[in-house]
């Protein structure tokens, strides 16, 4: 099986999720450093839908750039994430079994 992780190496939770993936026997792991190679708005929308989340639930609210999005709808949040990927909560993990936000990191086990 293959797993893709949208990863930020500076984030401890993202590093923990990646470690779980790397420790899983037989799992091929693709690492996308999303700050260097941001997903498109359409990709984000698809990932959140597949994870059963709203864009707001995937928003990293602790970032200063998230403050203006307090009352925004999902379309505006997706636009903002596409323009500034630091707003994407991490880590997002994709396998053939689904998509999970690794918060807490152990949630990625649900799709392994």
What residues are annotated to the active site? Answer: 11
Q: How far apart are CA 45 and CA 48, in angstroms?
A: 5
The enclosing H or E element of 78 equals: helix 74-83
Residue 16 and residue 102 in contact, taking contact as beta carbons nearer than 8 Å:
yes
Residue 42 and residue 75 in contact, taking contact as beta carbons nearer than 8 Å:
no
Q: Which two tokens stand for residue 65?
A: 């750039």
CA distances from 111 to 7, 55, 85, 90, 100 (A): 17, 20, 24, 16, 7
């Amino acid at each position: 099986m293959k797993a893709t992780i949208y990863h930020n190496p500076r984030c401890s939770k993202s590093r923990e999720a990646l470690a779980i993936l790397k420790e899983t026997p037989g799992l091929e792991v693709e690492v996308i450093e999303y700050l260097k190679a941001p997903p498109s708005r359409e990709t984000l929308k698809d990932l959140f839908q597949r994870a059963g989340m709203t864009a707001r639930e995937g928003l990293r609210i602790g970032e200063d750039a998230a403050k203006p999005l307090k009352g925004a709808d999902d379309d505006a949040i997706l636009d903002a994430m596409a323009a500034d990927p630091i707003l994407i909560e991490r880590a997002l993990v994709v396998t053939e079994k689904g998509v999970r936000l690794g918060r807490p990191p152990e949630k990625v086990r649900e799709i392994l």
